[in-house]
Structure 1
């Protein structure tokens, strides 16, 4: 890898100055109330909402990992990157219910639809999951990227990034997060687009790349008998994980709740869906380019995860290289800022305010700031543990989503689509789901010590995608059966919170919140997704 030169450092310094300027401007504008601190005063426009959704999703581990997918024979994982149609579901299906209920958090929505028990389970589980997966993985991957790019040691890179991000997240709250993310999204898209363009030119175009790797390499659809990525399980489980991540997870949904109104929120998701189509071209293709150049003997790297940084440092001219490096740092910081803010929101609104309901607004904001500081400290403590684990466990963390998502997705989907689902069904499905998820993780770790012919070994050894699909079906059946065997929900409590109970007034209000342009752009996005699925079929 080539080291950064003076012109590159000027680019990086310019980025940080711009970031600092935005952060200071936001901090001076903010007000001391929870709506401003956690939801940016619910006054954000569609462009910022969409850019924030995109920037929250794209972390440095995402950029590096997706290019690594392109540089190794794991193209089926591309399906997780064409979830633009699931992002549309957030705007068209879920957001109207969240907006009508006036909630700050997803667990709060579960309390309004069901009861306080479901809220507590989802709150505690979400906070633990964020700290153990999102924060730790992002910090670890970020430390690796920063040390590789800037030539400093892993610890300095990781801690500097965490502290810097923590400062503007604590001081500026959600408003600082969404506005800095808009800058970061723009920078990341421009930088990666330039890299893709120069890379394709270097390999002699798409056709030349296909000639080198063979058309079969570009097939994302493996047969149903494939041991790693059977296509039916891949499609079903990726959709379940997609709905959980994009439509029910605080980390993403909080961005849409910052919008001025439902119209701006929905347009934000449509814009976010449009941006979500970009990673395929901006990060996956550079990985394929890097592999092509390696096979031709023009580029050298050891691990597939090094593909993006090595390609960037070797192909881009001085100055531009620094700009893309700043884009990678931006990706890391935007993901960290998002998860820091989501954690403090969940803790303050769903735990602290629930225990102390009469706490004044100013005190709640202070609590949110202290919670963010604690999350930052826990993240730093977690670094040595993450630094000592192998790449196998890093991949393993991705599969954990296939175990966490089914019960939560089932509760939200049936909760909105089926008014007969009650609080007992939802609560026991969440508890059962968490127990089964941890059981599967434990069995996966100890399966080598189990009887190879036994049921427990079969459960621990089953392909994670196949397990996710069957587990989701089990959650749906379990919740319906428990609900039907117990009390009927009170209609007054669930009015406007399920499809079967929306009032005419709310239906009319929802119809006036979109026009033909929103519908046409949404259909266009779905057609592009179908086009990508057809294009990557190895023919």
Structure 2
């Protein structure tokens, strides 16, 4: 890999100066109440909402991992990147219910629709999951990226990035997060877009690249009997995970709740869906380009995950290389900032405020800041543990969401679509779901010591996509059966929170919140998704 030169460092320096300027501007604004600190005063426009959704999703491990999938014959993983249509579900289906309920957090919505027990379970579970997966993986991957790009050691890169991100998240709150993410999204898209164009020119165009890797390499659809990516289970489980991640997870939904109104929030999700189409071309294709150049003996790297940084450092001119390096740093920082802010929101609104309902607004904001600092410290403490874990567990962490998503997706979907679903059904499903998810993770870790002909080995060895699909069906049945065997929910638990109970006034308000333009762009997004699915069929 080539090291960064003076022009590259100037680009990185300018990026950080702009970032510091945005944070100072935000900190000077009023942040005295929880709505302002955690939801940016609910006054953000659609462009910033959409850019923030995209930037939150794209972390440095995401960029590196997706390029690695392109370079490492794991093209079926592409299906997780063309879920723009699921992002549309957030704006068209879920957001109106969230906005009407006036909630800050997803656990808070569960309490309004069901009861406090569901809220507590989702709050605590989400915080633990964020700290152990999102934060640790992002810091670990980010440390490697920073070390490789800037030529500094892993620890310096990881800690500097965490501390810098932590500082602006603590002082600026959600407003700092969404505005810095907008800048970061723009830089990342421009930088990676230029790399894709230069890379394709370098390999002699798309057809020349396809000839080198073979057309079958670009096939995201494997047979239903494929041991790794059977296509029916791939489609079903990726959709379940997609609905959980894009439509019910605090990390993403919090961005739409910052919007001025439903109209701006929905337009933000439509813009976010358009941006979500980009990773295929910005990160996956560079991975295939890197593989092409490696097969031709023009590029060298040890593992597929190194494809993006190596390609970037070798192909891009001076100055531009620094801009893309800044973009990668931006991706890392935006992901971390989003998690830090989401964790502090969950802790303050769902746990601290519940324990101390009379706490003044200023104290709640201060608690959110302290919670962010604690999460930053835990994240740093977790680095050496992550650093000692092999790459196998890093891959393994990607599977974990297939076990986390089914119970949460089932409860939210049924809660919104079926008014007969009650608190007991939601509570039992969440508790049983978490136990089953933990049980599957343990079985997967110890399956080597189990009897190969036994049921426990079968459950631990089952393809994670097949397991996710069957687990979701189990959660749906469990929620429905428990709900039907217990008392129906009261009227205040369903009115305006489920389909079929929306008042005429709310229906009229929702109808006036979109136009033919919103519908047309949404249809175009879905058409592009279908087009990508057809294009990557290896023919």
- Structure 1 residue 491: Cα displacement: 1.5
Counterpart of 1:256 in structure 2 is 256
- Please name the residue that 1:149 is paired with: 149
**The residue matched to 1:453 in structure 2 has which SS?**
coil
CA distance in structure 2 between the partners assigned to 1:120 and 1:268 by the alignment: 29
Q: Distance in 1 between matches of 2:31 and 2:215?
A: 56
Separation (CA, whole Å) in 2 of partners of 1:330 and 1:173:
17
1:57 paired residue number:
57
1:269-296: per-residue Cα shift (whole Å, max 9, x none)?
0000000000000000000000000000
**Alignment correspondent of 2:473:** 473
Instruction: Please list every run of at least 4 consecutive aligned residues from structure 1 whose deviation after the TM superposition is greater than 2 angstroms.
Output: none
Alignment of 1:126-137 (within 5 A): 126-137=126-137
Q: Does the 8 Å CA contact 1:451/1:457 hold for their aligned counterparts?
A: yes
Give the Cα separation in 2 of the matches to 1:308 and 1:429. Answer: 41
Q: Distance in 2 between matches of 1:506 and 1:206?
A: 50
TM-score by length of 1: 1.00
For the Cα contact (< 8 Å) 1:30–1:172, is it kept in 2? no
Q: Which residue of 2 aligns with 1:106?
A: 106
* Residue matched to 2:182: 182
Is residue 2:425 matched to residue 1:425? yes
User: Which residue in 1 is equivalent to 2:268?
Assistant: 268
Shift of 1:31: 2.4
* 1:485 counterpart residue number: 485
Residue 323 (structure 2) aligns with = 323
TM-score (norm 2): 1.00
The separation in 1 between residues aligned to 2:410 and 2:148, in whole angstroms, is 41
Q: What CA distance in whole angstroms lies between the structure 2 residues aligned with 1:93 and 1:224?
A: 31
Gaps of at least 5 residues in structure 1 are: none
Deviations 1:97-119 (A, max 9, x none): 00000000000000000000000
Q: Figure out how many residues of one structure are paired with residues of the other and give that number.
A: 539
**1:491-539 deviation digits (Å, cap 9, x = unpaired):** 2332000002111110110000000000000000000000000000000
How do 1:117-266 and structure 2 match up within 5 A?
A: 117-266=117-266
**Aligned-pair distance for 1:339?**
0.2
The alpha carbon displacement at 1:191 in A equals 0.1
1:20-68 deviation line (CA, Å, top 9, x unaligned)? 0001001101321000000000000000000000000000000000000
Equivalent position of 1:43 in the other structure = 43
Cα distance between partner residues in 1 of 2:190 and 2:30: 30
Deviations along 1:83-129, whole A, 9 cap, x unmatched? 00000000000000000000000000000000000000000000000
Whether the aligned pair in 2 keeps the contact of 1:290 and 1:307 (CA below 8 Å) is: yes
**Per the alignment, in what secondary structure is the counterpart of residue 222 of structure 2?**
coil
- Does structure 2 conserve the Cα–Cα contact (< 8 Å) formed by 1:312 and 1:321? yes
2:98 corresponds to 1:88: no
Q: Counterpart of 2:13 in 1: which secondary structure?
A: helix
**Corresponding residue for residue 494 of structure 2:** 494
Q: Are 1:75 and 1:218, in contact at CA under 8 Å, matched by a contact in 2?
A: yes
Alignment of 1:441-480 (within 5 A): 441-480=441-480
**What displacement does 1:437 show?**
0.1
CA RMSD between the two structures: 0.4
The residue number in structure 2 matching 1:414 is 414
Give distance in 1, aligned partners of 2:71 and 2:311. Answer: 11
Once residues 191 and 30 of structure 2 are traced to their aligned partners in structure 1, the CA distance between those partners, rounded to angstroms, is 31
1:46–1:259 CA contact under 8 A, matched in 2: yes
Paired with 1:162 and 1:14, the residues of 2 have a C-alpha distance of 20
Alpha-carbon displacement from aligned partner over 1:409-445 (angstroms, at most 9, x marks no partner): 0000000000000000000000000000000000000
Per-residue deviation, 1:73: 0.6
